[in-house]
A and B are shown apart, each in its own frame.
Chain A
Amino acid sequence: MVWLTWRQFRTQALVAAAALAAFALTLVITGIQVRDRASAAGLYGCDATHSCEHAVSNFINQLRGPYHVLFIVGAMVLYVIPALIGLFWGAPLIAREFETGTYRVAWNQSVSRNRWLAIKLGLVGLAAMATAGLFSLLITWWASPIDRALALRPDTSIGVVRLDPTLFGARGIAPIGYAAFALALGVTLGVLMRRTLPAMAATLAVFVGIQVVWANWIRAHLISPSVARAPLGSNLNELMISPGAKMTVLGAWNQPGAWLLSDKTITPAGNVFTGPATKTCLQGTLQQCNAWLAGKHLRQLVTFQPASRFWTFQWYETAIFLVLAVALAVICAWRIRRKRFA
């Protein structure tokens, strides 16, 4: 049976493996080049702020073109791999047995249903986690000089810090958790819907939805954010007056590698400062406006997640998705055990 399956899938499996291997080879070769450029630019030896600034700009300037494209494509591939695993390994795993009726044979063997499910899920799950883990290792290694440079000095034309929602899931060990979860989700939806194609479509929709919601609204609350308060004085960065004399002022804030959650300016009473702007600011010079603002004793209130929490977040996130995967597997086992033959 295993032999037959392998024979039927051999060509496709080899083509897929060859494509992945070619991509991995590209990453290894270009990754070494990126490292060479980083060390030539002095990125690893720098310690003082000034010499690091110079090294970072020297290094970033050399990244235009293909390296920049690979930086983005690498992250995209790492987001797509767990989704594809859920779609093509997860959803058909049991849905196909239902669809073709082969479950009647498969579940009447000397091996119990739950053991059959456990072996299938265990083997495919390990393969999924290994695939995602290997690629994440490769891409995390490839991008580490760029991540280091961006943590020293942000540059949005190249990328964002690795704690940013768009990049966090394409680094470290989190993709392992996503792969396990996507697989379990695909299998569960396959068991519930009993048809491959609808289960695949549902897996994709649910997985993408969870990823988007998780990254944008849930992850930031896993650890309560750090709060920074400072009087708003010389660090005044932006001043904006909207129609109706509504006024927004923002202070500059720069902490290397951190994930900025919110940046507000509050009055001594603790409310968000919204003006109203005085005549001084509407018609006077900038100096006069600044002096008026200084008299308001405004304070800057910033909530953020510091760069040092990257690995804590990674462990939390991986653990949560692994637990969700196990919970889904238990649901599958329960559904399969309950099912009568029709």
Chain B
Amino acid sequence: MIWLSWRQFRTQAIVAGCVLAAFAIALLVTGFSLAHLYSGSGLPGCQGRGTCVPAIQNFMNQMRGSVYAFVFYIGVAIIYGGSALVGAFWGAPLIAREIETGTFRVAWNQSVSRNRWLAVRVTMVGLAAMAGAGLLSLMLNWWVEPVYKATRFAPPDSSLSYGRLSPLLFGTGGIAPMGYAAFAFALGVAAGVLFKRTLPAMAVTLVGVGFVLLAWPNWVRPHLIPPVHQVLRLRPSAIEGFSTSANNSQMTIFAGVHKPGAWVLSDQVVTSAGHVFSGPATHACINGSPQACSASLAALHLNQLVSFEPASRFWPLQGYETGAYVLAAVVLALFCSWWISRRRLA
């Protein structure tokens, strides 16, 4: 049974293995020079603004326009795109092809029961998918470690100030990619079972995985652990800009917040009573200088309401997220098992 599974899975496994190996070589080659760049930048052991600010400038300048950003984004694309492709090319044909070509009649009439057949194939390929994703995540994490260490010193709103909790990067670190791979694979198998034809199942899997991976960080992840709410006094230096309506009756203030490594979900300017500040625009802001505007806003005693996920929640969020995806994968696999044990041979 295991031998059969391997024979049927061989080509896909070898192709994926080659891609993984090629990328691993690219990571190894660039990874050591990146680590060298970090240790030579003066960031390790820097103390205080005097030495840290030039060091981080130095580091960021050498990163800009270099091959590192390119390699990193290729890695990000492989992790997200790879899980969708695992679903489409490993998952969808797994059962759909047997049904399409009629070979299920042979496969399901052996001494091995249908469910055992399904269990062995799904477990083997699913574990391979998770192992591949885990390996990729591990390699990319090793590679990007110096950059994450540097984010601690990065000035706000610079290209380095996004920590590993930011929506794009969260899914490429830790154990979450294993969850995505398992889910995408199981979704592919289930789509194949439902559609009974390979091509439509592949299309649905690609679109489905793409949609889930895009929708999740926007709508689901912020609610896995309720965010921390914090009220800060609005300092003039935090004001990044404001917009006013045509007749100046409304005014929105945009304030920045610097929380290295945290994921800031919302950042609003509220009045001392706790309502969102909506104007009217102060006279000084319409006609006066920026200083006069800041001073007039300070007189309003405004606060900043920030809700965010602190950097320390990286691993709990990873755990919940991976758990949710693996659970979804198991449910989909159970559905497939129920469906094929019910099916009559026609």
Listed in ascending order, the chain A residues whose CB lies under 8 Å from chain B are 9, 12, 15-16, 19, 40-41, 57-59, 61-62, 64, 69, 73, 80, 84, 88, 92, 156-157, 196-198, 200-201, 204, 212, 216, 238, 240-243, 248
Interface pair B203/A88, CB less than 8 Å apart: yes
Closest to A92 in B: B199
Interface pair A58/B243, CB less than 8 Å apart: yes
CA distance A248 to B200 in the complex (A): 55
B159 sits at the interface (CB 8 A) = yes
Closest to B19 in A: A205
Contact A201-B203, Cβ < 8 Å, known A41-B243, A61-B252: no
Closest to A13 in B: B200
User: What residues on B are CB-neighbors of A156 within 8 Å?
Assistant: 159
Interface pair A80/B210, CB less than 8 Å apart: yes
Please tell me which one of the listed residues A58, A59, A84, A238 contacts residue B203 in the complex, with CB atoms under 8 A apart.
Answer: A84
User: What residues on B are CB-neighbors of A238 within 8 Å?
Assistant: 57, 61
Interface pair B210/A40, CB less than 8 Å apart: no
| CB proximity of A91 to chain B, nearest CB, Å | 9
25 residue pairs from A and B, CB less than 8 Å apart: A9-B200, A12-B200, A12-B203, A19-B207, A41-B243, A57-B241, A58-B243, A61-B252, A69-B218, A80-B210, A84-B203, A88-B199, A88-B202, A92-B199, A156-B159, A157-B157, A197-B89, A200-B89, A201-B15, A216-B70, A238-B57, A240-B61, A242-B40, A242-B62, A248-B61
User: What residues on A are CB-neighbors of B89 within 8 Å?
Assistant: 197, 200-201
Please tell me which one of the listed residues B58, B245, B254 contacts residue A40 in the complex, with CB atoms under 8 A apart.
Answer: B245
Closest to A198 in B: B11
Total B residues in contact with A, Cβ cutoff 8 Å = 35
Closest to B157 in A: A157
User: What residues on B are CB-neighbors of A62 within 8 Å?
Assistant: 243, 252
B85 sits at the interface (CB 8 A) = yes
Main SS of the interface on chain B? helix
CA distance A64 to B253 in the complex (A): 13
5 smallest A-B Cβ distances: which pairs? A58-B243, A12-B200, A61-B254, A61-B241, A57-B241
User: What residues on A are CB-neighbors of B254 within 8 Å?
Assistant: 61, 64
Interface pair B246/A40, CB less than 8 Å apart: yes
| CB proximity of B275 to chain A, nearest CB, Å | 19
B261 sits at the interface (CB 8 A) = no
CA distance A204 to B202 in the complex (A): 13
CA distance A147 to B188 in the complex (A): 37
Given A16-B207, A19-B207, A41-B243; 18 other pairs, CB 8 A cutoff: A12-B200, A61-B240, A61-B241, A61-B243, A61-B252, A61-B254, A62-B243, A69-B218, A84-B206, A88-B199, A88-B203, A156-B159, A197-B198, A198-B11, A201-B89, A238-B57, A238-B61, A240-B58
User: What residues on B are CB-neighbors of A216 within 8 Å?
Assistant: 70
User: What residues on A are CB-neighbors of B57 within 8 Å?
Assistant: 238, 240
Listed in ascending order, the chain B residues whose CB lies under 8 Å from chain A are 11, 15, 40, 57-58, 61-62, 70, 74, 85, 89, 93, 157, 159, 195, 198-200, 202-204, 206-207, 210, 214, 218, 240-246, 252, 254
User: What residues on B are CB-neighbors of A59 within 8 Å?
Assistant: 243
CA distance A297 to B240 in the complex (A): 38
User: What residues on B are CB-neighbors of A204 within 8 Å?
Assistant: 85
User: What residues on B are CB-neighbors of A9 within 8 Å?
Assistant: 200
| CB proximity of B285 to chain A, nearest CB, Å | 12
User: What residues on B are CB-neighbors of A73 within 8 Å?
Assistant: 214
User: What residues on B are CB-neighbors of A57 within 8 Å?
Assistant: 241
| CB proximity of B211 to chain A, nearest CB, Å | 9
| CB proximity of B98 to chain A, nearest CB, Å | 14
Closest to B267 in A: A64
User: What residues on B are CB-neighbors of A196 within 8 Å?
Assistant: 198-199
CA distance A197 to B192 in the complex (A): 14
CA distance A9 to B200 in the complex (A): 8
User: What residues on B are CB-neighbors of A61 within 8 Å?
Assistant: 240-243, 252, 254
User: What residues on B are CB-neighbors of A88 within 8 Å?
Assistant: 199, 202-203
| CB proximity of A261 to chain B, nearest CB, Å | 10
User: What residues on A are CB-neighbors of B15 within 8 Å?
Assistant: 201
CA distance A41 to B252 in the complex (A): 12
User: What residues on A are CB-neighbors of B202 within 8 Å?
Assistant: 88, 200
CA distance A223 to B177 in the complex (A): 41
CA distance A46 to B142 in the complex (A): 49
User: What residues on B are CB-neighbors of A197 within 8 Å?
Assistant: 89, 93, 198
CA distance A73 to B214 in the complex (A): 8
Interface pair B40/A243, CB less than 8 Å apart: yes
User: What residues on A are CB-neighbors of B61 within 8 Å?
Assistant: 238, 240, 248
CA distance A10 to B213 in the complex (A): 27
CA distance A243 to B62 in the complex (A): 13
User: What residues on B are CB-neighbors of A80 within 8 Å?
Assistant: 210
User: What residues on B are CB-neighbors of A40 within 8 Å?
Assistant: 245-246
CA distance A69 to B93 in the complex (A): 33
